[in-house]
């Protein structure tokens, strides 16, 4: 493979932190030689040149599974050449600007503006400004409307793409849902566009975008207009502050509709129906330098059966689809061999919920026997099996045990539908403490809906009872116990789109600080540490998560004032962002407030398959402190079965057949979406 020199002097490279971030040359990286030959000879290529962009530093981007999957999918096709690009850290950012060097790709060091398409993966809202940094450094007009026929098409995907409104001014295209198929369909359209340029009827950019709208799951923001108004809420809106209609207009309801006929009114997310047959990268790019998660990943299943009401991932990735053990074992074997990593992470939203988890774990451990390869098992539900497993996989170092009760009392856990019972935590901990574990991490959220001081104090109480359990076991067994280390960690509740809590208000900063102090004052013990999450970023995150297109100019101005790397607490300046927001006639409260159930939400034109009606019924159940069973126990009719696949769908189909004879009424509602609406009616 030919190596492409970095367009920087040695002293420039040597002057930055971790120069290896900027040089490429990784094992398994793909360079399509025939494309380069073509380019060299004719200055053109028929390949679609795709730059997969990660809006954060290299070490974080290279730990991202979406990047590895889509890089692999694109390069496997015979008409796309995909390369990678990352946000340069501030030191390199400065050099690129001073020396007037465009941001380039890792593989062939091509400036981003020379690609046909840029695809950003948006995993967290705080990376938005880094998208602007990369476009800017890549010499691409920041605003979609300013881009011409020769500029690359800028698209995005990932969890944040579901409410892309705050970034709608900057993206030509957003992809909703799982990208393996969609990204190739999109690339095909780009290819047609590119090839048409050398014909007598070149396609315009506008035509291209309209063509892309025909692809299911693809959202072209510029083909939609937004009105901020009372539509549908007119009669219900009370106006206690006596603000003018105009002022209220600015605050309530963002209704997004197509600008003309023939454009889809609802964009429905895409899913992969069969994960077993879907391409999975068993030859991922292996970084030469150490990165944040230095391991290979085996994705076990998508979706989550649980339905915790605060969790966006739990709803947007529905329905639950598992890979078979046979496929996983084979992929695991290949991954270990092809990467050389000494650690493999099993990835999913809740690994223990994999139906054949024991079999999978045993099988992989047998495969790795004698290889000094360890399994990393995040999001594991603790029971005797998993403890035993952890003994085996972590034979060298005993890391801490992690629990995420999320709330301090059973009442609040019922509100959020976190199906973890105290008895389960204590019985698992008893086993663990007997087995020699002495480090426990507990994760909670502050500011959850209906939270009272009693719930906050419940967190402290739980931690203290765990402390007591540890020493009780020491006394019972007469064993010499190691020093106990309990970490209580709190993050702040952020209402996210497409969850039952999407309408909820976020506690004010003052209220959150008060709650945090209350907890801190009640957690005084030499064995318990309290770690908390920064407030400022959570305050801004809610604005971006539930925002609308009025934030576009705010983000642009913020970026131009030098704000990026907002995901890095040291670089995030809330006060300055608030100032810019207010300058544009808005305030934090506009987005942190409780959204009315009647108003049109900025993301209502997007469908993740879970109906708004279901989310609403879940919200009401939360207030009644009623839980909802997991998808495995009983289908609650969220709507995701409309995809026609998944565990719940299979269950519903089977269930409908069973009950068909016994209950003649059910004959009128066969499995499928009808069944869903019936169940919703009940709830």
Interface contacts to other proteins, rule CB under 8 A: 1, 3, 6, 9-11, 13-14, 19-20, 22-27, 286, 288-290, 337-342, 371-372, 391, 395-398, 435-436, 482
User: How far apart are alpha carbons 608 and 316 in whole angstroms?
Assistant: 6
Write the DSSP string, 374-385. Answer: EEE--S---SHH
- Nearest approach, Cβ of 677 to other proteins (angstroms)? 53
Give the contacts of 200 (CB within 8 A, at least 6 positions apart).
Answer: none
Nearer to other proteins, 288 or 596 (CB): 288
Nearer to other proteins, 288 or 402 (CB): 288
Is residue 447 within 8 A of residue 654, CB to CB? The reply is no
* Residue of 549, 548, 539, 545 lying closest to 577 (CA atoms): 539
Q: What's the first-to-final CA gap in the chain, in angstroms?
A: 60
- Nearest approach, Cβ of 483 to other proteins (angstroms)? 13
Q: Which phi and psi (to 5°) does residue 613 adopt?
A: -60, -40
Nearer to other proteins, 143 or 434 (CB): 434
Give the contacts of 181 (CB within 8 A, at least 6 positions apart).
Answer: 270, 272
Is residue 134 within 8 A of residue 55, CB to CB? The reply is yes
Please identify which residue in the block is written with the tokens 């942190």. 592
- Nearest approach, Cβ of 606 to other proteins (angstroms)? 41
User: How far apart are alpha carbons 118 and 52 in whole angstroms?
Assistant: 6
Nearer to other proteins, 248 or 286 (CB): 286
Is residue 505 within 8 A of residue 594, CB to CB? The reply is yes
Nearer to other proteins, 227 or 477 (CB): 477
- Nearest approach, Cβ of 3 to other proteins (angstroms)? 4
- Nearest approach, Cβ of 377 to other proteins (angstroms)? 19
Nearer to other proteins, 204 or 399 (CB): 399
Helix (H, G, I), strand (E, B) or coil at 388: helix
* Residue of 226, 316, 218 lying closest to 264 (CA atoms): 218
Is residue 322 within 8 A of residue 355, CB to CB? The reply is yes
- Nearest approach, Cβ of 25 to other proteins (angstroms)? 3
- Nearest approach, Cβ of 376 to other proteins (angstroms)? 15
Nearer to other proteins, 13 or 505 (CB): 13
Nearer to other proteins, 374 or 607 (CB): 374
- Nearest approach, Cβ of 51 to other proteins (angstroms)? 18
Nearer to other proteins, 201 or 372 (CB): 372
If DSSP states are collapsed to H, E and C, what string results for 586-648? CCHHHHHCCCCCCCCCCCCCEECCCCHHHHHHHHHHHHCCCCCCCCCCCCCCCCHHHHCCCHH
- Nearest approach, Cβ of 289 to other proteins (angstroms)? 5
Nearer to other proteins, 145 or 397 (CB): 397
Give the β-pairing of 224-228 and 218-219: unpaired
Nearer to other proteins, 28 or 596 (CB): 28
User: How far apart are alpha carbons 474 and 485 in whole angstroms?
Assistant: 15
Q: Please, what's the largest Cα pairwise distance for the chain?
A: 88
Nearer to other proteins, 83 or 151 (CB): 83
Nearer to other proteins, 435 or 670 (CB): 435
- Nearest approach, Cβ of 9 to other proteins (angstroms)? 5
- Nearest approach, Cβ of 106 to other proteins (angstroms)? 9
User: How far apart are alpha carbons 308 and 331 in whole angstroms?
Assistant: 30
Give the contacts of 22 (CB within 8 A, at least 6 positions apart).
Answer: 6, 8, 13, 16, 58, 88, 92
- Nearest approach, Cβ of 375 to other proteins (angstroms)? 15
Nearer to other proteins, 26 or 185 (CB): 26
Instruction: Dihedral sign for Cα 32, 33, 34, 35, please.
Output: positive
- Nearest approach, Cβ of 333 to other proteins (angstroms)? 12
- Nearest approach, Cβ of 283 to other proteins (angstroms)? 10
- State both tokens at 67: 């990047």
Instruction: Dihedral sign for Cα 630, 636, 637, 639, please.
Output: negative
- For the beta carbon of residue 133, count every other beta carbon within 10 angstroms: 21
Nearer to other proteins, 25 or 585 (CB): 25
Nearer to other proteins, 335 or 610 (CB): 335
- Nearest approach, Cβ of 107 to other proteins (angstroms)? 11
- Nearest approach, Cβ of 291 to other proteins (angstroms)? 10
Helix (H, G, I), strand (E, B) or coil at 115: coil
* Residue of 314, 333, 324 lying closest to 418 (CA atoms): 314
Give the E-state strand segments of 300-364 in sequence order: 301-302, 321-322, 343-347
CB environment 601-619: b (16+ within 10 A), e (fewer): bbbebbbbbbbebbbbbbb
Q: Which DSSP category does 160 fall into?
A: G
């Amino acid at each position: 493979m030919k190596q492409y020199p970095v367009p920087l002097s040695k002293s420039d490279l040597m002057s930055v932190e971790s120069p290896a971030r900027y040089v490429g040359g990784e094992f398994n990286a793909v360079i399509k030689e025939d494309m380069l030959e073509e380019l060299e000879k004719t200055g053109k290529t028929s390949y679609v040149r795709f730059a997969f962009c990660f809006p954060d530093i290299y070490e974080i981007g290279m730990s991202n599974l979406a990047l590895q999957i889509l890089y692999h999918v694109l390069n496997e096709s015979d008409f796309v050449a995909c390369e990678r690009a990352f946000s340069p850290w501030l030191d390199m950012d400065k050099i690129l600007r001073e020396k007037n060097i465009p941001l380039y790709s890792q593989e062939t060091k091509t400036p981003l503006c020379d690609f046909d398409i840029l695809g950003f993966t948006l995993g967290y809202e705080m990376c938005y400004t880094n998208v602007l940094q990369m476009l800017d450094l890549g010499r691409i007009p920041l605003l979609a409307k300013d881009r011409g026929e020769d500029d690359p098409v800028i698209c995005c995907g990932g969890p944040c793409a579901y409410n892309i409104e705050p970034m709608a001014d900057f993206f030509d295209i957003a992809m909703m849902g799982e990208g393996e198929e969609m990204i190739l369909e999109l690339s095909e359209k780009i290819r047609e566009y590119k090839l048409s340029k050398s014909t007598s009827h070149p396609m315009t950019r506008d035509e291209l975008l309209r063509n892309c709208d025909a692809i299911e799951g693809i959202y072209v923001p510029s083909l939609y207009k937004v009105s901020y108004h009372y539509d549908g809420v007119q009669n219900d809106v009370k106006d206690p502050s006596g603000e003018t209609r105009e002022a209220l207009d600015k605050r309530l309801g963002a209704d997004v509709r197509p600008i003309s006929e023939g454009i889809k009114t609802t964009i429905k997310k895409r899913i992969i129906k069969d994960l077993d047959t879907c391409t999975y990268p068993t030859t991922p790019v292996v970084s030469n330098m150490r990165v944040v998660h230095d391991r290979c990943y085996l994705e076990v299943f998508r979706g989550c059966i649980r339905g915790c009401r605060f969790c966006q991932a739990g709803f947007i990735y529905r329905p639950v689809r598992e890979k078979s053990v046979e496929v996983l074992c084979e992929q695991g074997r290949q991954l270990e061999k092809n990467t050389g990593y000494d650690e493999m992470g099993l990835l999913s939203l809740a690994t223990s919920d994999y139906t054949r988890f024991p079999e999978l774990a045993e099988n992989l451990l047998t495969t790795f026997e004698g290889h000094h390869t360890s399994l990393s098992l995040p999001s594991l539900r603790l029971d005797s099996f998993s403890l035993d497993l952890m003994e085996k996989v972590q034979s060298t170092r005993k890391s801490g045990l992690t629990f995420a009760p999320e709330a301090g009392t059973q009442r609040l856990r019922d509100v959020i539908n976190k199906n973890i019972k105290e008895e389960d935590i204590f019985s698992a901990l008893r086993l663990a403490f007997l087995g020699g574990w002495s480090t426990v991490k507990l994760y909670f959220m502050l500011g959850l809906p209906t939270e009272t001081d009693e719930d906050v104090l419940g967190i402290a109480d739980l931690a203290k009872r765990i402390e007591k359990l540890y020493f009780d076991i020491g006394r019972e067994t007469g064993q010499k116990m190691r020093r106990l280390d309990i970490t209580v960690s709190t993050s702040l509740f952020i209402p996210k789109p497409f969850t039952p809590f999407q309408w909820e208000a976020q506690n004010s900063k003052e209220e959150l600080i008060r709650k945090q102090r209350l907890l801190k004052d009640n957690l005084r013990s030499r064995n318990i540490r309290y770690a908390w999450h920064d407030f400022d970023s959570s305050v801004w995150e809610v604005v971006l998560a539930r925002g609308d297109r009025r934030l576009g100019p705010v983000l642009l101005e913020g970026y131009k004032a030098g704000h990026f790397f907002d995901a890095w607490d040291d670089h995030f300046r809330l006060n300055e962002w608030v100032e810019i927001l207010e300058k544009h006639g808005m305030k934090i409260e506009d987005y942190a407030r409780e959204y009315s159930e009647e108003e049109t939400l900025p993301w209502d034109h997007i469908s993740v398959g879970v109906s708004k009606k279901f989310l609403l019924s879940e919200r009401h159940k939360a207030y009644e402190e009623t839980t909802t069973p997991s998808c495995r126990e009983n289908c609650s009719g969220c709507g995701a079965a409309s995809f026609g696949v998944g565990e719940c769908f299979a269950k519903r189909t089977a269930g409908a057949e069973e009950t068909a004879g016994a209950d003649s009424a059910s004959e009128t509602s066969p499995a499928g979406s009808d069944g869903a609406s019936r169940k919703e009616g009940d709830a």
